A = this chain, B = another copy of it.
């Protein structure tokens, strides 16, 4: 409400009270001003009503919310259900325009500002968590896998004729699908054992390049965040890319929550080449599934090409959820979340080690993986199917997300057969269970998880093998 409006209330309440109220308003207004001016995360968390105030103000700039607006086209932002209008803050025109998912829409000025602003806040977040030299980012209203696909499609124009994507194996389906759907051919690089860790086989990458020719490689597609015992890919990939002039796309799916992953990226860009790194919104920002962020250390136009490869407007839902969340966090919240995650990781690792010892198992030594950890499962008698029962037991006890991996699994995806699927390796020597310390996890969850794994293992060792439990082990 403008100051001048309040003055109309002088016959209702005394002037001095109105002045006091105006001061209250001014404080709030000031926060909005600073946000729009700096376009960075606020230091402190915004409260809910201020966040909703901003969204509501932006919605007012969209034509569908304008008083007296008449629609003569086929896409006029009409909303049938009041529930739908309300839950979307009446921001219904989506983001982007026909040919560019980051473009500004004349019909939807508020939605456009929101999207741009969200991008700036997200970039600030990315810098705060460790990629200090990140220069730009875009928010894509699709899953991480689809967003990787979009990057590959965008590269097609830059790499006419190239058709191979070099990919250090990671057993995550959508990751592989993103390459298959793009029409390019993945060159799968098997991981190398290094102690318990599975690490990038740099030699094989070099040989592959030599074999097919650098100019025929669309890009190298590496990974930071992954399940132990695999660890983030080696820095050398970036150097190879630089040397051979090959684009480098990094799947940093849930790496924003780990300063280690971010520093690795930052360093990779410094010493080598990183064209873009892609991350999931839900896994890093604790929002519902639906969006991804593509970021870059350069302003070289590649992100525009990615955005320009998205045909049509996109959902504003990821932008809305992300903006709300970032304002709700503030810099203080971000730092606290990262610190807590790191502490939880250490706590969970120590507690897992204890039960490993108790259960005659071993926590695999994977110091390069800052988020996930794995414990061997060699003491459970019986066949693989008996071991995988552990996964179901945990699931029915409301422990979700733990993965039990056995050696024997073969899986065919789009015609490629993976041996030892789930373990990122043809012949990893152990069966194991992985658990992760992810952002937003509570200390009490660590305790319950550890206790429950311990209990289930003990009871698994006692009972005789059986069948038919809920199959939910491989959580993809």
Contact = CB atoms under 8 A, between A and B. Distances in A.
Interface stretch (A107-115, A194-202, A234-242, A359-367): A107-115
B470 A80 contact: no
Closest 5 CB pairs of A and B: A73-B401, A94-B289, A143-B312, A290-B315, A145-B311
B400 A88 contact: no
A134 interface: no
Interface residues of A, number: 168
A350 interface: no
A49 B90 contact: yes
Contact of A74 (B68, B153, B254): B254
Interface in A28-42: 28-29, 31-33, 36-37, 39
29 contacts: A2-B2, A12-B113, A17-B106, A20-B109, A24-B62, A24-B65, A24-B67, A48-B82, A49-B90, A51-B83, A52-B56, A52-B83, A69-B398, A70-B399, A70-B452, A71-B441, A73-B436, A73-B438, A75-B401, A80-B329, A80-B440, A82-B82, A84-B287, A87-B89, A98-B145, A99-B413, A153-B182, A175-B311, A289-B316
Interface string A305-316: 000111111111
Given A17-B109, A97-B476, A438 B143 contact: no
Given A72-B402, A92-B289, 10 more contacts: A5-B32, A6-B61, A24-B65, A80-B285, A82-B82, A83-B328, A92-B287, A93-B288, A141-B315, A289-B313
B314 A290 contact: yes
B472 A106 contact: yes
Interface string A365-385: 000000110000000000000
A78 B282 CA distance: 8
Interface string A90-105: 1111110111000010
